[in-house]
Structure 1
Amino acid sequence: METGNYICHLCEKEYEPTKRGIQKFCSSKCRKKYNYHKNIVPSDKSVATETISKPSKIKVEEMSLAGVGNAATGALLADGLKGIVKAFQPEENKLATKKDIQELKNFKYKRYFLIQNMERRYDGFLPYFDMTTNSLIYLRDPNYINPAANIL
């Protein structure tokens, strides 16, 4: 360990080193303050010690008409690009809407599902799959008109 007194780089007090090598600061508190403020203010010691006691003011830029116009133009351009991207996006990759989610909820609790690839029965009843009994059933179609009944 070196002997002799040193001067702290921050508070400029004279101190005797307690660790190996050359110390720049009298304590870890001074070292931390110095490292914190050296990034904010230039490395001039007089300026650095003043900024420790006085917080620096943040400069707020004024709003200008040109800046507002640029921001509005950028927002409109971004929205337009989103629309173009959505137009060319495949159907299976599109995002679900609230309506789609509501339809899925209703679909989940539906008991009878129409079987699309089966023909009507001879009397016009439609084939359905019953979700509770897991069976095939035929239900009346209210819009069906029997062509054999109209022949007179």
Structure 2
Amino acid sequence: MENRNYRCNYCKKEYIPKRRRVQKFCSNSCRVGFFKLQKKSTMNYTELSGLEKRTKKQTVEALSIAGVGNATIGNLAADAIKSIFVNDDNKPVTKADLKRLSLKLERFQMIKNMNSNIYGQKAYFDCDLSIVVYR
């Protein structure tokens, strides 16, 4: 064991070493604090260098045929999957669907929740004239 005093590299106090080798710190807490401080100072340097890297302007890639093709294939695949898993009841109505439906409708549609007139004729809706007719 040594008898002379050493100075701690972290807190700068004088101390007598407790181990055989030459010690740099008076305690474990000073040793850990020194290395944390050292790590923090190097970390700030790396953060600054990272900021310099982030400030570079981003370049926009040129439009390519491969990119357009990939986007088209992805869109078609998504539409195919959507058409497989969505019920017909939940799909939106198109103009063609409305035209087909109007061709299937007859001119006169019976109104079920309306009473017949005094002559016993039932109420019908005329789709062409948009009026109620008794027949």
- What TM-score range do you get, normalising by the shorter chain? 0.3 to 0.5
Structure with the bigger percentage of helix: 2
What TM-score do the two structures reach when normalised by structure 2?
A: 0.37
What TM-score do the two structures reach when normalised by structure 1?
A: 0.35
